[in-house]
Amino acid sequence: MKSQQAANRPDNTAFTQQRLPAWQPMLSAHFVIPGFLLIGMAFIGIGVALYITSQNIQVLEKDYTGTGQYTACSECADMQTIPCICNVTFSLTTLFTGPVFLYYGLSNYYQNYRKYQVSRDDVQLWGDVTKSPGDACAPYQYIDNKPIAPCGSIANSMFNDTFSLYQIINGTMKLVPLDGKGIAWWTDYNIKFRNPSAQGSLQDAFNGTMKPVNWSKPAYELNPSDMNDNGFLNQDFLVWMRTAALPDFQKLYRRITSGDYALGLPPGDYVLQIEYNYAVKDFGRKKVVFSNVTWMGGKNEFLGVAYIVVGSLCLVMSVVMLVVYAKYKFADENA
Amino acid sequence: MLRRRLRRLFGGDEKRVGSRTICVGCRSSLTTEAFLQQAFCDNRIVSSKYTVWNFLPKNLFEQFRRIANFYFLIIFLVQVIVDTPTSPVTSGLPLFFVITVTAIKQGYEDWLRHKADNEVNKYLVTVVEDGQRVRKESEKIKVGDIVEVLEDETFPCDLILLQSSRDDDTCFVTTASLDGESNHKTHYTVPDTEKEVELLNATIECEQPQPDLYKFVGRMQIHKDSQDAMRSLGPENLLLKGATLKNTKKIYGVAVYTGMETKMALNYQGKSQKRSAVEKSINAFLIVYLFLLVGKALVCTTLKYVWQSRPGQDEPWYNPKTVKERESNLYLKMFTDFLSFMVLFNFIIPVSMYVTVEMQKFLGSFFITWDKDFFDTEIQEGALVNTSDLNEELGQVEYVFTDKTGTLTQNNMEFIECCIDGFQYKYRESQAELDGFSVTDGPIYKVQEKAGREMEDLFLRALCLCHTVQVKESQLAEVDGDQIDSVSGGQCGFIASSPDEVALVKGAMKYGFSFLGLECKNMKILNRDNDVEVYELLHVLNFDPVRRRMSVIVKSKTGETLLFCKGADSSMFPRVRSEEVDRIQVHVQRNAKEGYRTLCVAYKQLSTEEYVQVDASLREARLALEDREEKLAAAYNRVETGMTLIGATAVEDRLQEQAAETMEALQSAGMKVWVLTGDKMETAKSTCYASRLFQQGTELLELTVRTLEEGGRPREERLLQLLQEYRAKTQCHPVGKGVNHRSWSSAGQDYGLIVDGATLSLVLNASPETDSSRYKSLFLTICQSCTSVLCCRMAPLQKAQIVRMVKNSKGNPITLSVGDGANDVSMILEAHVGIGIKGKEGRQAVRNSDYAIPKLKHLKKLLLAHGHLYYVRIAHLVQYFFYKNLCFILPQFLYQFYCGYSQQPLYDAAYLTMYNICFTSMPILAYSLFEQHICIEILLDSPTLYRQTAKNALLRWGPFSYWTLLGIFHGLLFFFGAFFLFSNPALLPTGQVFGNWAFGTVVFTVLVFTVTLKLALDTRHWTWINHFVIWGSLSFYIVFSFFWGGIIWPFLEQQRLYFVFANMLSSVSAWLAIVLLILLSLLPEVLLLVLRRPRGPRVRQMRRRLPSSGTSAIFMLSQTSSSHSFSWSD
């Protein structure tokens, strides 16, 4: 009988009786008003720092689509002569603090279009060119029954304008050295992408594959000057393969880090020589952007402004609450 | 009667028409043409739903009949067939999981049923075949077989008792497994059958199977020596499958109903599913979201084709179409695009919500079972939860319908006093009078007088004889050996279906007349002079609620034939002489006013001729195959006339402990309490006063037969007049309208309504010429403006009628019925929530209830604490689920505007799938199980808090639109915050840029954190589980993201998230943006919390007050209302 009693009687534990010790937070004014004040001040501080940093970032943009209001490269815009070389000149009155980063920007270009976005084969890009490319790569899967490497629309449409920068010193053009190393994510270069391995040269490894339709050179000859910058590990290729989030985007092209220009571009006249290959005029525009970079990345005023606004809001709210609280405090305590 | 006959003739159920003929023993010689073998089903019980073969298709079909499952299946199929942005796995996996778990659960349950079926079907029984006893499996029993059943065995099918090992041709059974009544019931063999069952040659004609356990009519034709004898068969001859043989060595019976046609199987029907109001709200919200979903998909599809029509957008050179795409039909493409968008946004209606809601209900209901406050030491049982679907409904109750006897009162009867021939007798234990029988001063008889000794004896004899009480078997054996001594010890040796009878028999015992038992139709009583008197029991005219009386006809040793009758005063007074009525009525009324249950006792002497006539008419009625009840009732009515009233008894039924406090609490919680009872008005009224349902200041409005007959006009006219009068009265003080104040705390007058069964049926079933709906609506308005309503003299069906009437009235209020007896089952089943009290009147109420509690007082905690908390929990759960999926999917929708309407998902597939399953599911589940926004003591202390959530307050369109707006606000914030951040994607200090997956990951990180922290803000009760689950979920998200992005997964086609999360965290700007967005999203919430603070001061005040149930409710109310005065917002 005793044991039956024990079996029937509910356990008297804190859990079963819903009496677990509990913390019951009360958001009282005593706690919230100072909290808001603190957050507000901190946010305004961060916001100001962000804003000033962003303001100090120098940006120089040159649209070179060649159509519309910007006339630069208009001679190449019709895409009649290939390759077409055009020059964009600009002059700097102050030092453009280094390291200077060179970006290219495309607008109304949908790298995030779903069909486009999936048109790649990550297994192939991991070094397996012998397998048949994935169906997502269609219509850039095969040419004459030979697999395309790299396959797919993304690779096929890789940005292929090239830029070289010259400073004009006393009428002579001095080449500004552009550094193409480290413009892609470290993990992309070292892990996510791999060149096919084979005995012999990289060219042998790509044996039996075709270059993408739009490419003038096969993958293993992308950068003739640096053997390690070819195939799937070409930095420009890696940057392109990381598809942009929005239709107006910019991608890193080169950095100016060495030689006389390590500290920046000194004042003077410059010529940007562009090999104009990439057709965008039907749907959008392209531009080249010089910018320097800080701890927060490129120029972005949004964050600073947003922080200042939210911080001020917090301050205002804490003041309002203080007023309300002072007015009703006695009522509260007398109640 | 005519209608019933017509129904029988034309009723849809043709199988039930007519009767069945069974040849006992079923020997081949008898199966002549006259007895064409009717096809009876075999004795297999099949309660299982599936077989091995049909399990998969049938179960899947059942599951996909649920709208939600079907919807997810469609989405999944679309994903498989059409080229869609997300892989079918994202929606297929959760669906598969849900379906599998449900299927396994149902399969397991069915397996258990199969096992139970087999146990019953393969049970070996002994069947008499051609004079030999054969062991057979139970399922092979055929109708007509003679079955042998031993003691403590259960009957394998419905049997007609042919022979018993007991000398008196009876056997005892318990029907505990059928209706829960554990007392022994006596069943009788068919009279005058052969001693050797093997030789019996008979046919039985009986009605077709019907589910009523207590009804059976049939007759048996015994062929003996070419002479046919007829015997009537009634329920007392029928042994039901499932009942157990007790105190009898063995019996023989012939099977009449087998297998699925047994009364047990016919009663085995699942209760109809009750749906909670929350579920209706969910469905309404679901439709809104479904429209939202379709709307979004339509907008996107339209805009896509508008956008594509602009030059250069449809097919830029860098993104050519495949040949197939180019050639497919435009409208087909549009349609598939639409479907793709649907699939992309389908996460807005998550599978996981259903799973979480089910889990919450299932797990949450354990807290009721576990609650030790519900444990009753007396019966060693706690609360019982029969369904977990209605937990939250307990927090929404507006009307409480309670039974009186056994629910409000203890149903523990005690004989208080009696009145014999107009003199009042009260038993006093202390008085050392010889027989303990004393006369107290009756109010009208100034002089102490005693009724004549003869009258006293007659009265006590009547009490001793007129009942159906049995003496417990062990007691009986003792009596046989030592006749006199054992009686004094026999305190609890009586078993009866009604506690009143035991109380009366015990009462008679106190006065010196003891009932010794019934043996071979002889009732033995021990009189005051310690002599044993023996009476032969000739007839028992059973109690029924229509006649409201029962009688016995006995023959004394001296040869006198006596009829003793006891019953309710209203049913007795017309049947006795009026001058006797006058003398006793005063006492009866006084007793009823004091809250006692009164019965009148009368007798009648029958002359031999009279008896012969009576005997004949009774036997004839008993033999009737059709309309036996009506014929019997008519015969009873003929017999029970012209009696002499001897006296009346008063039996006290004490109030349940804390009945008054409970009722008071329920009333101040805003519930209207209706008492529905079969008892008479005065008794019920006094109970109402005692349990404080009626207060001193309550003005009582009476709608009874008495008030109806006052005017001397036709009843219906008078009724209409009264109804209008009462409505006018109640409407000028609209008590029911002001929800937030209890009437008696303010100046308003409080009304109570009393209505009796006869008047009610007049209201509900008014004749068609009069406008019956008008009566009904008038009646309802009066009821709704009364704080309590008392309905007395109710039949069980009327109880259900009342509940249905209120349930279907305007606003569809949530009703709760609480009762303990079989007569409450109908109203328990009818109400939204049915509560069974584990009382003394069997277990039927408990079995049919949704929740069962040991005592009425537990109702307070069940409703005020558990119900309130469950409602708040599930309401929050539902709103939160819709909210979190709205702000999950809204950014994805907005992203379509910036990706060329290409159905590009914003989040990675893993995030899409895991969001509802892993990242955000546990905190809300923990919240919905453990949240106590107000702690339990306070909820119990101030019942007015219950009104905060009345009328589904948290799931109305107001709160829903608040949550929806919040979701939209958050969704916009998440997307555009990230959007402006990515206006320059060079976010790394190395100048490198982020791609689209980083964009999605930023949004998703903000989303997971905001949604979880929003819940954290709402959590008022942080147990370690909440801490663990909230912080655990967030950590899990971070760990998972690192892990998911840290490995090249061989099974993935694209390594989209490879190191995206880690790289994102190496950007200071991303960090700052995430922090900013989370904070900004929660800012309005924090502000609202601080500014609104409705609970803050009140809770503090409540804590200060000592919990004391004794403080008056007025004090409590004045306190809470004063705390209302402080509120920042207004």
Instruction: List, for residues A16-75, the tens digit of each pLDDT value.
Output: 888 888 888 877 777 888 989 999 999 999 999 999 999 999 999 999 988 877 778 888
pLDDT of amino acid B767 = 61
CB contact under 8 Å between B902 and A153, yes or no, is: no
Q: Measure CB to CB from residue A26 to each of B320, B936, B1096 and give the nearest one.
A: B1096
Least confident of B200-204, B296-300, B433-437, B1061-1065: B433-437
Q: Which residue has the higher pLDDT, B875 or B772?
A: B875
**Chain B residue with minimal CA distance to A39?**
B1079
List of chain B residues whose C-beta atoms are within 8 Å of the C-beta of residue A256: none
pLDDT class of B429 with cuts at 50, 70, 90 = very low
Mean pLDDT within B504-516:
83
List of chain A residues whose C-beta atoms are within 8 Å of the C-beta of residue B1063: 185, 187
Q: In the predicted model, is pLDDT for residue B481 greater than 80?
A: no
**What's the CA gap between B160 and B147, in Å, rounded?**
10
Residue B184: HSE in the Cβ half-sphere, 13 Å Cα cutoff:
19
Q: Looking at the complex, does the CB of residue A315 fall below 8 Å from at least one CB of chain B?
A: no
Contacts of B429 (CB under 8 A, 6+ apart): B436
pLDDT class of B475 with cuts at 50, 70, 90 = very low
- Using DSSP's 3-state secondary structure scheme, residue B203 falls into strand
Q: In the predicted model, is pLDDT for residue B962 greater than 70?
A: yes
Type of residue numbered B81: I
Substitution target from A44, A232, A242, A282 for chain B, most B beta carbons within 10 A: A242
List of chain A residues whose C-beta atoms are within 8 Å of the C-beta of residue B999: 245-246
Q: Measure CB to CB from residue A11 to each of B370, B1096, B1122 and give the nearest one.
A: B370
Mean pLDDT within B281-292:
89
pLDDT class of B433 with cuts at 50, 70, 90 = very low
**What's the CA gap between A150 and A153, in Å, rounded?**
9
B329 within 8 A of B865, measured Cβ to Cβ: no
Distance from A167 to chain B by nearest Cα, in Å? 23
A163 within 8 A of A273, measured Cβ to Cβ: yes
Substitution target from B984, B1001, B1024 for chain A, most A beta carbons within 10 A: B984
A264 within 8 A of A98, measured Cβ to Cβ: yes
Q: Measure CB to CB from residue B1022 to each of A10, A22, A118 and give the nearest one.
A: A22
- Kindly write down the DSSP assignment for every residue of B517-568, as one continuous string: EEETTEEEEE-TTS-EEEEEEEEEEEEETTTTEEEEEEEETTS-EEEEEEE-
pLDDT of amino acid B70 = 85
Q: Measure CB to CB from residue B986 to each of A188, A246, A297 and give the nearest one.
A: A297
pLDDT of amino acid B2 = 45
pTM: 0.80
Distance from A171 to chain B by nearest Cα, in Å? 32
pLDDT in tens, B51-62: 888 889 988 888
pLDDT of amino acid B472 = 64
Strands of B116-249, DSSP E: 124-129, 132-137, 146-150, 158-164, 170-175, 181-188, 202-207, 218-224, 227-233, 238-239, 244-246
CB contact under 8 Å between B313 and A283, yes or no, is: yes
- Write down the residue that tokens 């799931």 correspond to: B955
CB atoms within 10 A of CB B373: 17
Q: Using only the alpha carbons of chain A, give its radius of gyration.
A: 30
**What's the CA gap between B1022 and A20, in Å, rounded?**
9
**What's the CA gap between B604 and B562, in Å, rounded?**
6
pLDDT of amino acid B239 = 87
Q: In the predicted model, is pLDDT for residue B446 greater than 50?
A: no
Q: In the predicted model, is pLDDT for residue B840 greater than 80?
A: no
pLDDT of amino acid B745 = 40
Q: Annotated catalytic, B403?
A: yes
Contacts of A98 (CB under 8 A, 6+ apart): A256, A257, A261, A262, A263, A264, A265, A292
Largest interatomic CA distance in chain B: 121
**What's the CA gap between A185 and A189, in Å, rounded?**
6
Q: Measure CB to CB from residue A332 to each of B319, B323, B1126 and give the nearest one.
A: B1126
Contacts of B207 (CB under 8 A, 6+ apart): B19, B20, B216, B217, B218, B625
pLDDT class of B113 with cuts at 50, 70, 90 = confident
**Chain B residue with minimal CA distance to A159?**
B318
Q: Give, as one character, the DSSP assignment of residue B194.
A: -
B307 within 8 A of B900, measured Cβ to Cβ: yes
Q: Token pair of B751, please?
A: 């009304």
B370 within 8 A of A16, measured Cβ to Cβ: yes
Q: Looking at the complex, does the CB of residue A254 fall below 8 Å from at least one CB of chain B?
A: no
Substitution target from A17, A27, A101 for chain B, most B beta carbons within 10 A: A27
Paired with B781 in beta bridges are: none
What values do phi and psi take at A235, rounded to 5? -60, -40
Q: Looking at the complex, does the CB of residue B1096 fall below 8 Å from at least one CB of chain A?
A: yes
pLDDT in tens, B1102-1116: 443 333 333 333 333
pLDDT of amino acid B254 = 87
Mean pLDDT within B634-655:
84
Q: Token pair of A48, please?
A: 């100001």
Verify cis geometry, omega within 30 degrees of 0, for the bond prior to A150. Answer: yes
Substitution target from A5, A16, A19, A24 for chain B, most B beta carbons within 10 A: A24
Q: Give, as one character, the DSSP assignment of residue B672.
A: E
pLDDT class of B259 with cuts at 50, 70, 90 = confident
List of chain B residues whose C-beta atoms are within 8 Å of the C-beta of residue A304: none
pLDDT class of B10 with cuts at 50, 70, 90 = very low
Which of 703-762 (B) contact A at CB < 8 A?
none
pLDDT of amino acid B450 = 62
Q: Smallest Cα–Cα separation from B1083: which of A45, A306, A52, A302?
A: A306
Q: In the predicted model, is pLDDT for residue B1120 greater than 60?
A: no
B515 within 8 A of B509, measured Cβ to Cβ: yes
- Using DSSP's 3-state secondary structure scheme, residue B326 falls into helix
Distance from B1071 to chain A by nearest Cα, in Å? 10
**What's the CA gap between B595 and B690, in Å, rounded?**
8
CB contact under 8 Å between A282 and B317, yes or no, is: yes
Q: In the predicted model, is pLDDT for residue B1010 greater than 90?
A: yes
Mean pLDDT within B1121-1125:
32
pLDDT in tens, B204-234: 888 888 777 777 888 888 877 767 778 788 8
pLDDT of amino acid B490 = 40
User: From residue B1119, how far is each of B550, B747, B864, B941 by CA, in Å?
Assistant: 54, 18, 19, 12
Highest mean pLDDT pick, B141-145, B329-333, B1065-1069, B1098-1102 = B1065-1069
Q: Measure CB to CB from residue B982 to each of A22, A136, A246 and give the nearest one.
A: A246
Q: Looking at the complex, does the CB of residue A166 fall below 8 Å from at least one CB of chain B?
A: no
Q: In the predicted model, is pLDDT for residue B541 greater than 50?
A: yes
CB contact under 8 Å between B1069 and A4, yes or no, is: no
Rounded to the nearest angstrom, the gap between the alpha carbon of residue A67 and the centroid of all alpha carbons in its chain is 26
Mean pLDDT within B158-170:
81
pLDDT of amino acid B34 = 45
pLDDT of amino acid B223 = 79
Least confident of B511-525, B947-961, B1034-1048: B511-525
Distance from A172 to chain B by nearest Cα, in Å? 31
Q: Looking at the complex, does the CB of residue B765 fall below 8 Å from at least one CB of chain A?
A: no
CB contact under 8 Å between B996 and A244, yes or no, is: yes
For B850, counting Cβ atoms within 10 Å of its Cβ (0-12 exposed, 13-18 middle, 19+ buried), the class is buried
**What's the CA gap between B1017 and B1024, in Å, rounded?**
16
Q: In the predicted model, is pLDDT for residue B930 greater than 90?
A: yes
**What's the CA gap between B527 and B511, in Å, rounded?**
9
pLDDT class of B842 with cuts at 50, 70, 90 = low
Q: In the predicted model, is pLDDT for residue A144 greater than 50?
A: yes
Q: In the predicted model, is pLDDT for residue B488 greater than 50?
A: no
Three-state SS annotation for A227-255 = HHHCHHHCHHHHHHHCCCCCCCEEEEEEE
pLDDT of amino acid B31 = 44
* Alpha helices (H) along B165-276: 176-179, 263-267
**Chain B residue with minimal CA distance to A1?**
B380
B819 within 8 A of B403, measured Cβ to Cβ: yes
- Write down the residue that tokens 């999944």 correspond to: B76
Q: Which residue has the higher pLDDT, B994 or B42?
A: B994
pLDDT class of A327 with cuts at 50, 70, 90 = confident
User: From residue B658, how far is each of B410, B563, B663, B697 by CA, in Å?
Assistant: 11, 42, 9, 22
CB atoms within 10 A of CB A49: 15
pLDDT of amino acid B182 = 55
Q: In the predicted model, is pLDDT for residue B275 greater than 80?
A: no
Mean pLDDT within B912-920:
89
Share of chain B above pLDDT 70, in %: 83
Least confident of B664-673, B765-774, B1062-1071: B765-774
Least confident of A249-258, B161-170, B807-816, B998-1007: B161-170
pLDDT of amino acid A189 = 92
Q: Which residue has the higher pLDDT, B449 or A2?
A: B449
Highest mean pLDDT pick, B433-442, B491-500, B861-870 = B861-870
Q: Which residue has the higher pLDDT, B1107 or B199?
A: B199
Angle at A175 between CA A171 and CA A179, to 5 degrees: 160
pLDDT in tens, B1054-1074: 888 999 999 999 999 999 999
Q: Give, as one character, the DSSP assignment of residue B166.
A: S
A127 within 8 A of A197, measured Cβ to Cβ: yes
CB contact under 8 Å between B984 and A298, yes or no, is: yes
**Chain B residue with minimal CA distance to A283?**
B312
Q: In the predicted model, is pLDDT for residue B194 greater than 70?
A: no
Q: Token pair of B123, please?
A: 């049970």
Type of residue numbered B1041: S
**What's the CA gap between B731 and B417, in Å, rounded?**
43
**Chain B residue with minimal CA distance to A248?**
B983
B670 within 8 A of B739, measured Cβ to Cβ: yes
What values do phi and psi take at B1116, rounded to 5? -60, -45
pLDDT of amino acid B28 = 46
**Chain A residue with minimal CA distance to B1055?**
A122
* Alpha helices (H) along B624-680: 628-639, 659-668
pLDDT in tens, B791-821: 887 777 778 888 888 888 888 899 999 988 7
Q: Which residue has the higher pLDDT, B610 or B1099?
A: B610
From first CA to last CA, the distance across chain A in angstroms is 54
- Write down the residue that tokens 């571009």 correspond to: A265
**What's the CA gap between B689 and A220, in Å, rounded?**
99
Substitution target from A296, A325, A333 for chain B, most B beta carbons within 10 A: A296
pLDDT of amino acid B973 = 96
Q: In the predicted model, is pLDDT for residue B161 greater than 80?
A: yes
Catalytic entry in B158, B403, B653, B679? B403
B533 within 8 A of B556, measured Cβ to Cβ: yes
Mean pLDDT within B440-451:
44
Write down the mean pLDDT value for chain B.
79
Distance from A124 to chain B by nearest Cα, in Å? 10
Largest interatomic CA distance in chain A: 110
Mean pLDDT within B264-270:
63
Q: Measure CB to CB from residue A245 to each of B985, B1026, B1083 and give the nearest one.
A: B985
